[in-house]
Chains A and B, each alone.
Chain A
Amino acid sequence: MIIKAENLSYTYSQGGPFQKDALHAVSFTIKKGEFIGIIGHTGSGKSTLVQHLNGLLKPTSGKIYIDGIDTSGKKADLKAVRAKVGLVFQYPEHQLFEETVRRDIAFAPTNMGLSKEEIEERVEQACALVGISKDILDKSPFEISGGQKRRVAIAGVLAMKPQVLVLDEPTAGLDPRGREEILSQIKKLHKDIGITVILVSHGMEDIANTVERLFVMNKGKIAMEGTPLEVYSRYEELEEIGLSAPQVTKLMKRLFNVNVCTVAQAKEYLMGVLKRA
C-alpha cells in the first residue's frame, strides 16, 4: 500500500468569505506498482486531490498516508514524502529555468545533496527513461521543441527516483503524435521500473488505452472506480457528470450491448460477429 486516504476532506479558505469544499470524505488505496487514472471535469476536485499526494495540501479532516507517513502528522517528514512522490504539473515545461538541460534535470538531485557521480548517473538514467538523447543535454531548455521540453521536465522529476509519479494532464496542448509518444513513454516507464503511476487526464481515449484502474471524480467525491472497461460501460453516468465515453464504447453498446473501450476491442468483437453471420 503506497498511498492510503481515509475520509480525506479539504476546504479552501475555511471560515473565510470564499470558503469552498473541494473534497468530501474521500477514501481509497493505491498499491505499489499500480497504474491509476484520475478523470473528472474542471472543479471536480482532482487537482486538490493530487496536491495531497505529496503534502502540498494537508487534509482539513481525515488522513492521507504516503508510504506509511501521515502527511498531517506534527512531525511528518514532508521532505521524505516529496522524495517518494514526484509531481509533474500541467505544462511542466513552463517551469524549466536552468541554463542547460543537464543542469535543469540535475536540480533536484543536487539539492538532495548527492555526490557528483550519483547526480551525473541519475541525469543519464532519467534521460534514457523519457527517451531524450544526450545531444541536447548541453543545450538551453529554451532552444528545444515543446515535446522535448516536456520530457525534460518529467526527467527532472524522475531524477529524484520517486516511488510514485503523478502526472497532471501530461498530454495537454500536444498534437496526436506528441500525445502518443508521451503516453507510450509513460507506459514503458511503468513497465520497465515498476514505478507507481497516477495519471490525471481529460483525454478519455488516452486513459482507456493506458491505465489499469480508474477513479472518476465528481463534486469532490470519487463517483466511480474500476477498470476503464468497467467505468466506460457506465457511459450514461459519465455523460451526466460532464465527461464522455469514447465513440466506440457508445457505438458498441448501442449495437450489441457489449462493453469495449478501444477501437481494437471493437474490431475484435465485430470480426467475430461478422464472420459468424
Chain B
Amino acid sequence: MIITENLEFRYYEGSNEEVLDNINLKIEKGEFVAVLGHNGSGKSTLAKHFNAILLPSGGKVYVGGMDTLDESLLYEIRQMTGMVFQNPDNQLVATIVEEDVAFAPENLGVPSQEIRKIVDWALETVGMSEYKRHAPHLLSGGQKQRVAIAGVLAMKPKCIVLDEPTAMLDPIGRKEVIATLSKLNREENITIVLITHNMDEAVCADRVIVMNTGSIIMDGTPKQVFSRVDEIKSLGLDVPQVAELMHELRKEGFDAPSDVLTIEEGYKAIKSMLERNVQ
C-alpha cells in the first residue's frame, strides 16, 4: 500500500537538519499501523508524505505503486490516501454535517444521486447518520472527528492516515473514534495509519512503529514493542500500565512475563505467578 525507499526530508534546501533520515518502510494493504514518537520525532512529517502533502527531499514514497514525486498522479494519490488531523474544528467546512461529507465527492464531479448514496454510506459507517442534518459546531469532539472521517471515506480511499485524531477528545470521544477505525479496518479492509501518544490506542493496532529523531527505531507487534519498557521510557514515551507493572516486577527478580498489555492478560499472568509460588 505504502512504500518508502531511503526517504529523507529537510524543510529547506541546504538545511543540515534532517527531519526524516533514511526511512525504509512498507505498509501492507489492510494493516492497522500505529506510529509513536515524542513531539518533534518526525512522525507527522512522515505521515504527510503518505498523501503527498510533503514530498521527499531524497528517496521515494510510493502510494499504491504511485510515485508521489510525479505531479500528474497527485489527485489519484490524495484520493487513495485520506488524512484526518488533530483539531476537528479545523477540518469541517460546511454548515450541515451531510454537506460537509459531500464536499469531496462534489469536487470529484460524482453524479448527485451517487453522492447521496456515498454520503449516507459514509455517515452510516461512522455511526453518525442521525446527525446528518445537524450543524457540525454543535457536535461533541468525538462526533466531529467521526464526521471528518466520514468526509475522508466519501472519497472511497484505500488508506486513512490520522495524525493524533484523539488528542483533543475526552475518554468517550476517544473510544468512539478508535472503535470506528477498528471497524473500518476490519469490515472495509481500509489500511489505517494512526499517529498517537496514547498507548492504549496503539495496543489496538496490528503493528507499532516508534520514531525518534527522524528515524524508525522500533517496528513490531504491540507486544514486541511494549516489552522494551526501559527503551520506550527513555524515549519519553509511555507503555500500558500493566506492561510497566510486569516490568517493575521483573526488575525485582520476579518471573513476570514481558508480553502482557491488557488487563485480561495481566490477570492471567499474575494468577499463574501466584500458582507457581505455591508449588
**Chain A residues at the B interface, C-beta cutoff of 8 Å:** 41-43, 145-147, 172-178, 202, 204-205, 242-244, 246-248, 250-251, 254-255, 263, 266-267, 270-271, 273-274, 277
Contacts and interface: CB of A to CB of B under 8 A. Distances in A.
A242 B172 contact: yes
Chain B interface secondary structure, helix, strand, loop or mixed? helix
23 contacts: A43-B140, A146-B39, A147-B39, A173-B86, A173-B167, A176-B197, A176-B236, A178-B39, A178-B236, A244-B171, A247-B242, A248-B241, A248-B242, A250-B263, A255-B267, A263-B244, A267-B249, A267-B252, A270-B249, A271-B252, A274-B273, A277-B277, A277-B278
6 interchain residue pairs of minimum CB distance: A177-B236, A277-B277, A247-B241, A176-B238, A175-B38, A242-B172
B94 interface: no
Contact of B38 (A42, A177, A242, A254): A177
A158 B245 CA distance: 37
B21 to A, nearest CB: 20
A175 B237 contact: yes
A145 B164 CA distance: 18
Interface string B152-186: 00000000000010011011110000000000000
A254 B254 CA distance: 21
B142 to A, nearest CB: 8
A172 B173 contact: no
Nearest to B140: A42
Given A174-B39, A267-B249, A41 B171 contact: yes
Contacts of A173: 86, 164, 167-168
B264 to A, nearest CB: 9
A175 B39 contact: yes
Contact of A254 (B237, B245, B267): B267
Nearest to B252: A271
A277 B272 CA distance: 12
Nearest to A147: B39
B217 interface: no
B6 to A, nearest CB: 27
A254 B271 CA distance: 11
B261 to A, nearest CB: 9
A124 B278 CA distance: 60
A274 B254 contact: yes
A277 B255 CA distance: 14
Interface in B120-135: none
Contacts of A145: 39-40
A274 B248 CA distance: 13
B30 interface: no
A266 B237 CA distance: 21
A256 to B, nearest CB: 9
A171 to B, nearest CB: 10
Contact of A277 (B172, B236, B274): B274
Contact of A42 (B40, B170, B237): B170
B270 interface: yes
Contacts of B271: 255
Contacts of A246: 241
A242 B175 CA distance: 10
A274 B277 contact: yes
Interface string B256-278: 00000001001100110110011
B59 interface: no
Given A145-B39, A247-B240, A267-B252, 12 more contacts: A173-B164, A202-B170, A205-B241, A243-B171, A247-B266, A250-B263, A254-B263, A254-B267, A267-B245, A267-B249, A270-B245, A277-B277
B172 A42 contact: yes
Contacts of A244: 171
Contact of B263 (A175, A243, A251): A251
A176 B170 CA distance: 17
A248 B260 CA distance: 13
B141 interface: yes
B242 A251 contact: yes
Interface in B194-223: 197, 200
A37 to B, nearest CB: 15
Interface in B223-246: 236-238, 240-242, 244-245
Contacts of B263: 247, 250-251, 254
Contacts of A41: 170-172
Contacts of A248: 241-242, 245
A228 to B, nearest CB: 14
Contact of B197 (A175, A202, A242, A271): A175
A178 B254 CA distance: 32
B236 A274 contact: no
